[in-house]
Chain A
Amino acid sequence: MGDQIVQWVAGLLRQAYAMLGLSPIAGILDRIVCAVAMFGFVSVFVMFLVWMERKVSAHMQSRIGPNRVGPFGLLQTLADAVKLTTKEDVHPVKRDKIPYFIAPILAFVATFMGMVVVPFDNKVVVADLNIGVLYIIAITSFTVIAILSAGWSSNNKYSLLGGFRSAAQIVSYEVPLVLSIVPIIMITGKLNFSSIVQYQQQAGYWFVVPQFVAFFTFIASATAEANRAPFDIPEAESELTGGFHTEYSGVKFAMFFLGEYVAVVVSSAVAATIFLGGWLPLPFFGFLHLPGFIWFMAKVLFIIYLIMAFRWTFPRLRVDQLMDFGWKVLIPITILNILITGFVVLLLGKGA
Chain B
Amino acid sequence: MTDLLLSQIKPGGESPFGTDEYVVNMGPQHPATHGVLRLVVKLDGETVKETMPVLGYLHRSIEKICENRTYPQCITYTDRVDYVSAMSVNLAFALATERLMGLEAPPRAQWLRMIFVELQRLASHLLWMGAFAGDIGALTPFLYGLRERERILDLFEMTCGQRLTYNYIRIGGVMIDILPEFIPKCKAFLDYFEPRIVEYEELLTYNPIFLERTKGVGVISAEVGINSGVCGPSLRGSGVSCDVRKQQPYLFYDQVKFTECLQNDGDCWARYRVRMDELRESISIVRQCLERLEPGPIETKLPPILKAPPASEIYSRIESSRGEMGIYLVGDGTAKPYKAKYRCASFSNTFVLDQLTRGWKVADIMAVLGSLDMIVPEVDR
Residues in A lying within 8 Å of B, measured CB to CB: 57, 60-63, 157-158, 161, 164-165, 229-230, 232-233, 236-241, 312-321
Contact = CB atoms under 8 A, between A and B. Distances in A.
Give 4 nearest A-B pairs by CB, closest first.
A316-B137, A61-B143, A315-B138, A238-B32
From DSSP, what is the main secondary structure of chain A's interface residues? helix
B207 interface: yes
Nearest to B47: A320
A57 B147 CA distance: 15
Which has the most chain B C-beta neighbours within 10 Å: A61, A233, A312? A61
Contact of B203 (A165, A237, A238, A313): A313
Contacts of B207: 314-315
A143 B27 CA distance: 29
B364 interface: yes
B137 A314 contact: yes
B133 A239 contact: no
8 contacts: A60-B140, A62-B143, A232-B137, A236-B137, A314-B137, A315-B213, A316-B213, A318-B364
Interface of B: 22, 24, 30-32, 45-46, 133-140, 143-144, 147, 203-204, 207, 209-210, 212-213, 361-366
B144 A239 contact: no
A321 B360 CA distance: 12
B64 to A, nearest CB: 34
Nearest to A60: B140
A157 B24 contact: yes
Contacts of B139: 57, 61, 312
A314 B209 contact: yes
Contacts of B212: 317-318, 321
A57 B138 CA distance: 12
Contact of A315 (B22, B31, B133, B364): B133
A157 B133 contact: no
Nearest to A232: B137
A63 B137 CA distance: 19
A236 B140 CA distance: 15
Contact of A239 (B22, B32, B140): B32
A219 to B, nearest CB: 16
Which has the most chain B C-beta neighbours within 10 Å: A57, A238, A321? A238
B137 A315 contact: yes
A243 B365 CA distance: 16
A236 B361 CA distance: 13
A129 B361 CA distance: 44
B137 A161 contact: no
A281 B362 CA distance: 47
Contacts of B213: 315-318, 321
Given A62-B143, A238-B134, A312-B139, A161 B46 contact: yes
B318 to A, nearest CB: 31
Contact of B210 (A165, A238, A239, A315): A315
B154 to A, nearest CB: 16
A314 B206 CA distance: 11
Nearest to A314: B209
A233 B213 CA distance: 13
Contacts of B46: 161, 165, 319-320
